[in-house]
Structure 1
Amino acid sequence: MPGLLAVAAATGVAFGVHALVPAVNPSTAAVGLGALAVNLGLHRPVLHVGTHVASHRLLRLAVVLLGLQLGVGQLLDLGPRGALVVVSTVAITFTGTRLLGRLLGVSPARALLVATGFSICGASAVAAMGEVAGGDEDDTAVAVALVTLCGSLAIVLLPLLRQPLGLDPAAFGSWVGASVHDVGQTVATADRVPGALTTAVVIKLSRVLLLAPLVAGASIALRRRSPAAPSGRRPPVLPLFVAGFLAAVAVSSSGLLPEPALHAAKTAQEVLLAAALVGLGTGIHLRMLRRTGGRALVLGLLSWVLVATVAYAGVRLTGV
C-alpha cells in the first residue's frame, strides 16, 4: 500500500506537469519522476512492493484497455497504401533494430525490447514483449527509458522538420503516426500542426493493432530457437494480457460499448499507463545506465532515425 500510494501521488504530479506544460505528456513526466525518486534515494524499501505491482500489473491492465481504443474498421479506413506504410515501417524498424543491436553488442533480449517499443507503441509494447523476451528488469527499464526519451524529442523536433521536408498537414500526420512511439507522444506531436491530428491517430492506432501478431511471432521464433528456459518453462506464445488486448479490440469493433464507456476506458488507460511508468521509472538507475546503457542508447537513437526515415519514405512514395 505505501508504494501504491506513492505511485498515485506521483501520477497526479505527472498529470499536473502536463497541465502546466502541455508539451510534456504524462507518460514522460511519470518516467522522469520515478527515475528522479530512485536516484535521489527516495525509493525506500517500504515502497518497493507497491512500485513493482504498478510497473507490472498496472501496465498489463493499461495494455488491455488500450485495445478498446482500436477497431478493425480502422484498418479498412487506411486503405491499401496506408496499410502498406504501417506494415512496412513496423517490419523494417523491428528487423533493422534487432540487426543493429547485434552489431552493437546489445544483448538479444534488450535489443528485442527496444525494437518492439520503437516499431509499435513504446512502453506498452515493451511490456507485452517482456513476457517472452527472456530479459530482466534492467532490460525493460532501459527500453522504456529510450522510447520515452526519443518520443519526447520527437514532440519537439518533428514539427520543426515539417516544412523543410515538404509535408502538408495530412502528410505530416501520417508521418507522425507511422514513426512516433507512444500514443500520447503521437497526439502531442501531431497536435502542434493544425489538421494533422486525425490522420496521425488513425495511422498510429493501426500500428498498435500489430502488437499481438508481433509478440506471437517473436514468441514462436524464440520457442523454436530455445525450446525451454533453464527453469524448464517456455515463453507463452501469447501472454494472457495480450490475449485480453485482442479481446478488447473485438469488443471495441463490435460497437457494443457506448461512447461514454469508451471515453472512460481511454482515461483509465492513460492514468494506469502513467502510474505504471512511475513504477518502471524507479528501475532506471543512473549507475546501471552508465554501466550498461551506452550501447543501448546508440541503438535507441539509431532505431529512432530508422523508423522516422522509413515512415517518411513510405509517406512520400505512397502519398498517404
Structure 2
Amino acid sequence: MTTASKILYVIAGPTASGKTAAAIALAQRLDTCIISADSRQCYREMTIGTAKPTANELAAVKHYFIDEFPVTQELTAADFERLALGYLNEIFATRHTAVLCGGTGLYIKALCEGLDAMPATDPDIALRTEAEYKENGIEWLQQAVETEDPEFYETAEVQNPARLLRALSFIRSTGKSIVHYRSHTPKERPFRIIKIGLELPREVLYDRINRRVAMMMTEGLESEVRGLIPYKHLKNLQTVGYAELFEHFEGKCTLAEAVDKIKQHTRNYAKRQMTWFRKDAEMTWLRADDEQLVTKILAISTA
C-alpha cells in the first residue's frame, strides 16, 4: 500500500459541537487512531476546562497530543505540524487511515497545508506594545488589534492577551497581518485529506456550551484553576475557562459572574471558530447530530 493511498479525516468545528464523539465513532469504524488538534488539551494540568476526552473515551481509541506536555511548555503551530506529521508516520505504518479532531484552526491548517516562514518581530516594538498593554489593560489591547489588524481579530481568541500581543507586535513590526503567513502555498502531503465540518443550529450550540460550562463547574473546574494560580502568568493559561476564574480569585468579580463570562466568551469563541472554518472551501459541512454521520463521512471518501 503506497503512502499516497493513505487518508486523513479531519473532524473540525466549533467548541461543544460534538467533535470528540464523532471522531471516536469514526476511528472505531476505521480501526485507527486520533490526533487531537486542540492547543490546550495537550497540557497535562488542563483537563476539565479544556473538555478533554474522558478516561473511557481515551481508552476506546488511542489519542495523540493529549496530556503530552507540562503547562509550562509553550508550543506553536509549527511545533504541532512537526509533531503531527510524526504521529501520522507512526499511524500510517500499520493503518490506512487516521483521524484529526479539534477546533484550533491554525493547527489544522498547519498540518494540512504547512506554514510559511515569517519575518521576525522587532523586539523593541514588542516590548513597547507589552508595556502599553500592562498600562492600559485587555480592553485596550483588544481594541488596538481590532483597529490595526482586523483580519486577525476576526477569528482571534480575544481573551488571550499573549496571542493578541504577538499579532499586534507583528503587524507593527512588519506592516502585514500575521494571517498572511498562514501558508498561501500549501505544501504537498503524501496522503489524502478529507475535511468534515460539524455544525448545529446556533441556539442548540449555545445551549450545549452553557450546559457544558455548568458541568465543568460541577466536575471541579474551580479547584483545577485554583491549583494553577502559581502559573497564571503563562500564555497557556490566558485562555477561556481559566482567565475568568483567575479574575474571580483576584476579587475582580463574583464566582457567578466569572461563570457567566466563561459561557459568554466560549460562545464568542465558537462564533470565531465558525468564521475561520467557513473560509475553508475544502470543508464539507454535516450536522453534528445526524444519526448517520459516520456513514456519510465514509461515503464522502468513496465518492
TM-score (norm 1): 0.28
Which structure is higher in RCO with an 8 Å CA cutoff and minimum separation 6? 1
Larger Rg: 2
The structure richer in helix per residue is 1
The structure richer in strand per residue is 2
